[in-house]
Structure 1
């Protein structure tokens, strides 16, 4: 039988860091876990344990973030490998040698003995789902002796991957009819099939430059702290452990000024929030504060400059299933370039 590892909604998502490892705080491994605030927060992970392995299905309606550093590795010394099947949305993995983006239908590997960070992104329908297996590294070496690094990612549409995923799904969904020994044999079979596919497709991940990795860290920091009205070049630089001068250089390479990027992200988040909520769910002023504006009046002015209608008018427009993603691209309001310096 499966058990609920965790379930988070708008009432308890801020406590996710303290409970994402389950009731006994033994699942997964140490790291920094966070859930993006939004009009809909629904995150659930269900688990099936078989021997030393765990099969977990994670579903979410908002973005999730996880980061494991050398400090976490030294503290818990956990050495497990996670085999990910991405079902919906995207799984963005940053690691020591670069960055990879796994989309629905892809397979990814992460390893707890090396630092990495993950961003779980929803699809166009606002859903994210992954199916993954956590297995001790020494157990996996019986099947995959070569050193496959964190960030290894390939399409999971090949026959071996499809068969392995079906086996693991059947084990996960079993209602107790299979004996423990049978379940373990099936997991071993699935891992053997995966081993053949990985041996064939294993390759070094595409490398990123140091500046690319730093920019990725900066973007992640901005996304996590977007609702902070004091967000600035100085606070981001300090939070990412780099100088303000180097941060400015990164944005020059990126081609988008810091202020432009932040306002764009805030207005886009606000537009999506307004498009998916009703006045009784959350007020316009509360949306403004939730996305980092210091005043509702300033928010309304900038929103109208960009979308040619007030937030209230925007919310009342019939969409017939369309979202704010179909609206024109963001244009930086004149006179706002220095507001976040």
Structure 2
């Protein structure tokens, strides 16, 4: 975590030149002002996770920010800010009107449309928000629908609470999360937020049909029992409480025969395992057995047919240089000479 800025009575007039942090690269350009008051106490702390930033802003006086078309033409920064209002409220003026977000609300603003924000302290004379700054090209991976500046909903549901908790935990982390783990957690929070926003936008969400539920049960059963070499239509049908014939019809409607579904899943899982583990952590034979193949030779044949590379070649291509095995000459019988 790093401090972006701290303003009080001594330096609040410098806020316009300092609100973007010590290297002047956080947020985006705009007109930033702090209301003169008997108490001025404004602080923003930031945790960077890849291209995203989680920022906690606290203030005991009103703050104002305006981004115009002139600012947009100056820096063309295309990001969204996802706000969780903790205390006080935000009053946002935008092209579609005005939005007021109170404590407990979730709000979205976007940098490529003009808007202005007034941050107002609440009854306890404090304003506090936690917000995530996300480049739009990343947000669109999770929220494909167009979200307008001023989108605001009560963040009382469980999904919003989970996303906020994930972001808070990342923000407060003292270094236990490695960068790749923190990025996965941010992606998870965005996925949950996307689902929560879809729920809010749909007043009558489509109910899951019985066949959808059955298919979900089947796919889950296959996932859990993927390492069982005896996995079959009969065992899956029995485990899901349906007939083999109904299972076949269900998968036919899904567009994938049972054998194709299982073998594709096994090979893709093996591929992920090969590229995420070092040779000393999991041998190719061990991976073959753990994804349900009866023999490493059968696994190697099917893997090469699917990926055009042997499991060993696939692993070597996917690992960082420092983690690769010494180069080996492969000879007949699959043995190697160094």
TM-score bucket (shorter structure): 0.5 to 0.7
TM-score, with structure 1 as normaliser: 0.59
Aligned length: 202
Contact 1:152 1:202 (C-alpha < 8 Å) held by counterparts: no
Name the structure 2 match of 1:209: none
State the Cα deviation string for residues 261-308 of structure 1 (Å, max 9, x = none). xxxxxxxxxxxxxxxxxxxxxxxxxxxxxxxxxxxxxxxxxxxxxxxx
For the Cα contact (< 8 Å) 1:148–1:202, is it kept in 2?
no
CA distance in 2: counterparts of 1:8 and 1:170, whole angstroms: 26
Aligned to 2:209: none
SS in 2 for 1:48: strand
Aligned to 1:7: 6
Larger of the two Rg values belongs to structure: 2
| CA offset digits 1:220-271 (Å, max 9, x no partner) | xxxxxxxxxxxxxxxxxxxxxxxxxxxxxxxxxxxxxxxxxxxxxxxxxxxx
Deviation digits for residues 115-173 of structure 1 (CA, Å, limit 9, x no counterpart): 00000000111100000000100000000000000000000111100000000000000
Residue equivalent to 1:96: 95
Tell me the distance in 1 between the aligned counterparts of 2:120 and 2:49.
28
Q: Any stretches of 5+ residues in structure 2 without a counterpart? A: 203-338
After superposition, give the CA deviation of every residue in 1:192-244 in whole Å (9 maximum; x if it has no partner): 000001112138xxxxxxxxxxxxxxxxxxxxxxxxxxxxxxxxxxxxxxxxx
**Separation in structure 2 between the aligned mates of residue 82 and residue 123 of structure 1, nearest angstrom:** 21
Please give the secondary structure, in 2, of the residue aligned with 1:134. Answer: strand
Distance 2:51 2:123 in 1: 36
- For 2:168 and 2:51, the matched residues in 1 are separated by 17
Instruction: Classify the secondary structure of the residue corresponding to 1:87.
Output: strand
Provide the rounded CA distance (Å) in 2 between the counterparts of 1:137 and 1:56: 17
Cα distance in 1, alignment partners of residues 164 and 197 from structure 2: 14
**Aligned-partner Cα distance in 2 for 1:28–1:6:** 12
> C-alpha distance in 2, partners of 1:143/1:63?
33
1 CA distance for matches of 2:21 and 2:166? Answer: 25
Q: Structure 1 unaligned runs (5+)? A: 204-341
Deviation readout 1:300-332 (Å, 9 max, x if unpaired): xxxxxxxxxxxxxxxxxxxxxxxxxxxxxxxxx
Match of 1:69 in 2: 68
Higher relative contact order (CA 8 A, sep 6+): 1
Q: What is the 5 A alignment of 1:262-277?
A: none
Q: Give the 5 Å matches for 1:19-98.
A: 19-98=18-97
1:76-225 equivalent positions in 2, closer than 5 A: 76-202=75-201
Equivalences for residues 300-315 of structure 1 within 5 A: none
